Amino acid sequence: MGPEKQRASATANAGNDERRRMARTKIAQTIRVRPSLPVRDNFDDVARTLNASRTGIYFAARRAEYCKDMRLFVTYPFSTTPGTLNQEFVGRVVRIDELGDGRRGIAVELLTPLQVTAYEPIRSVAKP
């Protein structure tokens, strides 16, 4: 779908409780998601986006811990290749959809960029 059709689609859905400011692009990017304030279970998910924009992402997850308004640390895009730069954001869950097969669609608004870090694998230290 081209940019014109995406904008037209977003405009056509404006009467259907559409609140997006930016058009979404169907793109599969690897992301890392963690709760910013772990309450019950701390988790560290690596997933692929179903669609994304400059201000938000949408991905599928099997975890039940995600809830509306939950604050997250989102690394987008995320790569484990040594030396790769990863951008981390504070995000907020704005919508959860039931997708079937135990999967839930998680819509996250990216609120604040935090840092850009180079991924470096943890090396075990040999004991003498």
CA distance 74 to 118: 15
Neighbours of 50 (CB within 10 A): 18
- Parallel, antiparallel, or unpaired for β 56-61 and 103-118? antiparallel
pTM: 0.74
Domain ranges of the chain: 26-118
pLDDT tens digits for 48-82? 999 999 899 999 999 999 999 999 999 999 999 98
Averaged pLDDT for residues 11-34: 71
Question: Which is more confidently placed, 3 or 52?
Answer: 52
The pLDDT of residue 121? 65
Q: Work out the pLDDT band at 8, boundaries 50, 70, 90.
A: very low
Cβ-based neighbour number of residue 76 at 10 Å: 22
Instruction: Quote the CA–CA distance of 84 and 72 in Å, as a whole number.
Output: 22
CB 91 within 8 A of CB 109: yes
Q: How far apart are CA 88 and CA 25, in angstroms?
A: 20
Q: What is the mean pLDDT of residues 32-55?
A: 90
What's the pLDDT tens digit per position in 68-118? 999 999 999 999 998 889 999 999 999 999 999 999 999 999 999 997 877
Q: Which residue has the higher pLDDT, 40 or 123?
A: 40
**Structural fold of domain 26-118:** Thrombin, subunit H (2.40.10)
